Amino acid sequence: MKKIMLVLMALALASASGADDLEVTVYNNGVGLVKEIRELKIQRGVHELAYPGVPERLQPETVHFLSMRDPEGTRVLEQNYRYDLLNRESLLERYRGQEVKAWVDGDWRRVRLLAHGTPPSESTPIGRILEVDGEIHIEGFILPALPDGLLLEPSLVWLIDSDEGGYHDVELSYITEGLAWQADYVAVIDKENLLDLTAWVTLDNRSGRAYENARLKLVAGDVKRVSSGIQVRGGRGKEYAMMADAAPSNGFAEEEFFEYHLYTLGRPTTILDREKKQLELFAETGTEALRRYLFESWYQHEDAEPRALDVSLEFENSKEKGPGVPLPKGIVRVYMEDDSGQLQFAGEDAIPHTPKDETVRLKVGETFDLRGEHRVLRVDRKYKGSVHELDIEITLRNHKDEEVVFTAVENIYRGSEWKLLAHSHDYTRLSNGKFQFEVKVPAKGETKVTYTIRVE
């Protein structure tokens, strides 16, 4: 019994041990870099040392160990990542083929355990694991002792060679899967097309570990990884203090990092396992937005019936018009007040990583009261080779009570040479394969756009 109690107490104390200094950097691609400092008692010479409380989804090949007391004389000779945790299956499997006590026909009897089986369904309770008078009780079985090697939580076990015995501050760096973040935006637009934009960080922790009072950093950008993992190099302890001093007093501070952007939260935060946490990234009011109605077609396409237009919102991500900050990729959800002053959901769209001074375009839905129709009136193929002429008619209908500006975009196959021989409205050539018309359509009315195109 004494041996069992000592093992359980040691495991409990190991589970309670936490990092004295903890920093978590989370990337867009579902991984996180964890850097922590713990005080460990290290013996002189070659010996084994357990380091509990690491994530279940830790990638062992990325681990970097550094003794801050004796960086040159203390090194890891071997490393084992042990995740064979204490549970019903692991306990009974260790006693396969051995004699145990089992509840049989209303009495405790000594039996030989040949197979322990599994519960018939996830809803079937698997029972508690208890230590009673030096024995391990588990769902109808009594086991004589707790087997060696089972852990309460995933652990790294090292074979260490150290020149100095005693307490060492040890810095550990590693990459773990199961940590991810994304930006989520809430955009509220009024009837004057002024937009209030709030950005949230949505952090998802499925790594198998909680991170208490951690300094949080987020990297926005697509960081390349290979399947064999990345070797991480840890820094010295003084770097932690420098990074903490550089952080803002509250909220996130943004800076350029390599070809990415780095966001640092100015206060410690706790990230529980299996938790989604949201933190405000920034809030901007009064951004000028433009509502656009888009009718897009291929020049040879003919509609079977009139179709709805795409409605989009556009704004310049500049200091002059707001918000003027790098926007990490994420989903923008748009809300607007109805006539009673209540906010209603108007649509959503995803944006890529967007730097400052770029235009943000959000396709939020399709129009109810605007329709367009694309028709080919004439095709003339009398020219030699692949040269042909077409007469095109675009009908734009407005069922609203006010005038609306339509944007009609026409697409040409790449590599083709083309020229408009005639056109009813002015157009803008966007590229070699695209041009557009900006057309005002009166309230409760329609407008026809016609053009003749020669394509080679």
Could you state, in order of their start, the residue ranges of all structural domains in the chain?
95-143, 289-317+358-455
Is pLDDT at 5 greater than 50 in this prediction?
no
| Nearest by Cα to 52 from 142, 153, 186, 122 | 153
Q: Return the pLDDT at 381.
A: 77
How far is Cα 129 from Cα 8, in angstroms, rounded to an integer? Answer: 12
Q: Over the stretch 108-157, which tens digit does the pLDDT of each residue have? A: 777 776 655 555 554 444 444 445 566 666 656 666 666 665 556 788 99
* Residue type at position 219: V
Per-residue pLDDT of 182-226, as tens digits, reads: 999 999 999 888 999 999 999 999 999 999 999 999 999 878 767
Burial class (CB in 10 A: 0-12, 13-18, 19+), 172: buried
How do residues 231-256 score in pLDDT, each as one tens digit? Answer: 433 333 333 333 333 444 568 988 88
Q: For position 154, what pLDDT does the model report?
A: 85
Banded model confidence at residue 410, pLDDT cuts 50, 70, 90: very high
Q: In what order do the strands lie in the sheet with 99-104?
A: 107-112, 99-104, 141-143, 135-138, 129-132
Q: Look over the chain and give the mean of its residue pLDDT values, rounded to a whole number.
A: 83
Tell me the pLDDT band of 6, cut-offs 50, 70 and 90: very low
Lowest mean pLDDT among 40-54, 159-173, 219-233, 441-455: 219-233
Taking alpha carbons only, the member of 140, 156, 54 closest to residue 91 is 140
What percent of the chain has a predicted confidence (pLDDT) above 70? 77
> pTM to 2 decimals?
0.72
Higher per-residue confidence, 394 vs 13: 394
Q: Are strands 434-441 and 427-431 parallel, antiparallel or unpaired?
A: antiparallel
Compute the distance between CA of residue 323 and CA of residue 254 in angstroms, rounded to an integer.
Answer: 14
pLDDT for 416 equals: 83
- List, in sequence order, every residue forming a beta bridge with 198; answer none if it has no partner: 186, 283
Single out the residue of 68, 426, 52, 385 nearest to residue 240, CA to CA. 68
Q: Say if residue 7's pLDDT is above 50.
A: no
Q: pLDDT of 26-55, one tens digit each?
A: 998 899 999 999 999 999 999 999 898 899
- The whole-number pLDDT of residue 82 equals 80
The 343-351 sheet, strands edge to edge: 275-288, 194-205, 179-189, 330-337, 343-351
Given a cut of 70, is residue 456 above it in pLDDT? yes
Token representation of residue 437: 């018309």
Question: Quick one: 414 exposed, middle or buried, by C-beta within 10 A (0-12, 13-18, 19+)?
Answer: exposed
Average pLDDT value for residue range 384-406: 91
| pLDDT number for residue 172 | 96
pLDDT at position 145 is: 64
Q: Cβ–Cβ contacts within 10 Å for residue 267, how many?
A: 13
* Domain with residues 289-317+358-455, CATH architecture: Sandwich (2.60)
| Residue 220 β-bridge partners | 261
Residue-wise DSSP of 260-277 = EEEEEESS-EEE-TTEEE
Residues 270 and 216 sit within 8 Å (Cβ to Cβ): no
Assess whether pLDDT exceeds 80 at residue 370.
yes
